[in-house]
Amino acid sequence: MGLIYENEKPAKIYKYVSLADGQLIISNSTLKFTKPSDFNDPFDCDIRLLQFENIGKLDQHVYDDYDELKKRFPLVPLALFLEAYEPAINEKINSTRVCCFSANESVGNILMWSHYANKHKGICLQFDNNFEKKFIDLDEEEELSEGKVNYHFDGKLNYLGGNKKDGHAWVFVNKAKEWEYEQEYRFMIIKKKEIQRFDPLFLKNIYFGVNVTNEERIDFIELCKKNNYAHVKFYLGVKQGLSLEFTEI
């Protein structure tokens, strides 16, 4: 599907992880796409964000899906197809895997470090979102969707009467306003491996949390040099007053 909504693609995206997870990412040049049921928000990617009511006017995408089904089963009636539509969409949601980033360019965001980078003992990976071929094993035009999360968790969308892209966005890039500080950006795949290889050039900078030790930092930089990341720049987090600042090493 590609980009869900145009003009919502940040140039830089960030991933906050523990030092151990960062070592795995660097050692294998892989990122994990997680099933939504494992998210820390139980309402994330929930089928109950959608409703499936036939109010007399179905969207064209529903008829298109029906036409595709009739190529295999010519005699299936529309009413039976509509009964099975919600379970089919739910199965699609359950088979989707998501890789989460932040589009917040304020790398000193204390909450992101606290919640996702092991209480400032981890790292932040900065990726170039304009890099053309990010994931090596995916056809990014057809197999990879991406989009910026919106925070307007206010009711349901009728999937049968609305645009298919809107329905996709409502489920996969829509969260409660309490999560807005994350400024999340997502990549999504369906029925693909959870662990996906990426091109090392996709990664540009690495930021170390203020609680990473000197020895841990030296070992991590050496690991990067051994695994095709000689181009990456490194930044050290330090406390400046009541905020975090990062200086290049």
Region of 50 (left: φ > 0; alpha: ψ -120 to 50; beta: rest) is beta
* Tokens at 196, concatenated: 């996906």
Instruction: Give the range with max mean pLDDT: 24-28, 76-80, 155-159.
Output: 24-28
User: Global pTM?
Assistant: 0.89
Give the span between the Cα atoms of 172 and 146, in whole angstroms: 9
Kindly report, residue by residue over 197-222, the tens digit of the pLDDT: 999 999 999 999 999 999 999 999 99
**Where do the domains of the chain lie?**
2-248
**pLDDT above 80: residue 3:** no
Q: So what's the pLDDT on residue 7?
A: 62
Kindly report, residue by residue over 101-137, the tens digit of the pLDDT: 999 999 999 999 999 999 999 999 999 999 989 999 9
Which uninterrupted H or E stretch holds 218?
Answer: helix 214-226
